[in-house]
Structure 1
Amino acid sequence: MSESLINAGRQTLLLELQEASRLPERLGEAFVRAAETVLKCEGKVIVSGIGKSGHIGKKIAATFASTGTPAFFVHPAEALHGDLGMIESRDVMLFISYSGSAKELDLILPRLAEKSVALLAMTGKPRSPLALAADAVLDISVEREACPMHLAPTSSTVTTLMMGDALAMSVMQARGFDEEDFARSHPAGALGARLLNKVHHLMRKEEQIPQVQLTTSVMEAMLELSRTGLGLVAVCDAQRQVKGVFTDGDLRRWLVAGGALTTAVSEAMTRGGITLDANSRAVDAKERLMQRKIAAAPVVDDAGILVGAINLQDFYQAGIL
């Protein structure tokens, strides 16, 4: 029994992969025309389809929307009962129908023509009413569905999804849509946290900043270390320019060497050291700390003035792992 189940599953996958492997060779002038139509669209891409085509259409619309092309899905039945009013001449409709002869098209196609809405078709029938009415036709035909009865849409839904992804990704790249653009569409996700947060969003500010002046004693710097618990103190001149850092390690080395607590911290500090730009991306700043194998750093503005401090835990708490 288990072997027959595995064989049936394997046969399904092999059939779908075989059909999908034919898609790349179909991309030609019609695909370019479809992509250019979407790129030139001044409104939104409205995706529509019924049955399994509709389910796949919802995903394609979501993919467009998250990759820089405003898009939404409209069910054909809802379109015929008022939602056609949402579609304007500056929009593009992408209609998915394997047969290309869904009965709803009899009423939808004339309305689209009246409004001069550009029509793109995904269909398996190049001579269907949908294909003949479309400005560009994307061929999603299959020789065989993976369903053993050749009834349930299986291979054809895979080719539809893949063709939609191919169109969306081509348009995305043509727009120059990048990681930060994607993150702006997903601000609550891990990618948004990684790409949208800047150091100044996460850093410790004002009284939370561990800082002393060059003339401060080692004792006072040690107390500042204890007060903030960040593992370092920024040592600044009178203009708040960071001249070095005083860390737990510096304190230990100073005491082991017999240094006095009354000595100026400038004698015991690590000169220079790493500072982070307040306007840099948090993910880049975190990687810099990791590469240098340090846990915390002062944060400075464009003029080199101390404005904050941050450690690795601050990044982790923000979801930047």
Structure 2
Amino acid sequence: MNSNTSQQQPNGPNSGDGGADERTPLVTNAASSLGNMGNLHGITTNDAGKPYYEDDRAWVRWPMNFLHLTWQTLSSNYVNVLLVFVPAGIILGAMDMDPTAVFVVNFMAIVPLAALLSFATEELSAKLGQTIGGLMNATFGNAVELIVSIVALRKGEIRIVQSSMLGSILSNILLVLGCCFIASGIRRDESRFNETVASTMSSLMAVAATSLIIPATLYASLTKSEESADKNILFLSRGTAIIMLILYCLYLYFQLKSHAQLFDAEAQEGNEGGEAEEPQILGPVPAGICLVIVTVLVAVCAEYLVDS
């Protein structure tokens, strides 16, 4: 037994510890390679250990930065997996396929585009300050409904415009407001509101509701044969729309300029829970580019949606 053991030991250049010396580098290299695979070393970082989107070479940094920002944007929301319907909807609409298929696919495509539009608007408004950011949120907050309504008006689809407006009003007044009441009532027995802001919002809602009800009531009460009455109602409807647009601009001035401290205090009270702010992903230029691209895609999908 001892003689056989002594004959088997001198196999390496060294005696005794030759087996350990031979195996140790292999184990170390395997562990280091596994660690590098776990950190994706060599795929996302350069030789200096910096990410490729921070590389000193412009021809490497720009495309990798584009890919990095694109991935960060697409992974910001789970609903973005539905973006596969965007090219499918455009292709089906361009090829004049079955109207039902075109409608369903483009409807599914608008859902993630609306989420991306909201994401890009929030990223851009966070970089541009409170006034311009609030104006961006007010402008692009209902961009999808606005684009669909404009396309439908161009096609003469008045019922689609009316249904879109009615659905947006009911969802914001009933669904969104009711969900806010339920969410606030789960943790608090009593909710507090800013009286000035609440009364201002209530007054604006009353004016908007009255402006929509009066032309519709007059049109329903008059006979269809009176052409002069129809012209007068059309004039009243257009005048009401102009007045509502002026009131909306005045409300934006009230919220963002003259009485901004009321809304700032309300926002600060809402953030007293100590929740950390989410880090910003996109800068002003990438967010603006994303906003333009998504708006164009929404317009194209809305065009095929209304045509179907």
TM-score by length of 2: 0.22
User: Which structure has more strand as a fraction of its residues?
Assistant: 1
TM-score by length of 1: 0.21
Name which structure has the greater RCO, CA cutoff 8 Å, separation 6+.
2
